[in-house]
Structure 1
């Protein structure tokens, strides 16, 4: 299966992050443990979504996840 590239967005109605691929094309909501890659410092880095006091990406330091480029 080919990977799709999109941007992380926070879905306030579901209280979780989602990936937006196009205007009306979404992943469907991310859950703890979901693995994907994020584009940071000019390269793709494998990570996974987790929740503690707030949502975060393992191994990625970012104060705001909205808009980060990801592929899954």
Structure 2
């Protein structure tokens, strides 16, 4: 598994995972699964799009900057 940070992909409107300053996952798509770190615990989730992007089972509105592993 690789750990990174959720960042916006401005050209496509998708979210992406930044692993280092120059290395990215390549853009997340609906239904992709990964784990997000919340209060020191890893929570399995998947990303979906409604009005905005959200993580299933994770009640957080601002996803930018969350630590994830995939």
TM-score for the superposition, normalised by structure 2: 0.97
Runs of 4+ displaced beyond 2 Å: none
Q: Is 1:63 paired with 2:61? A: yes
Q: Distance in 2 between matches of 1:57 and 1:12?
A: 19
CA–CA distance in structure 1, aligned partners of residues 62 and 52 of structure 2:
11
Give the aligned partner of residue 9 of structure 2.
11
Establish whether residue 44 from structure 1 lines up as the match of residue 47 from structure 2: no
Unaligned runs of 5+ in 2: none
Gaps of 5+ in 1: none
RMSD: 0.6
Whole-Å separation in 2 of the counterparts to 1:61 and 1:12: 24
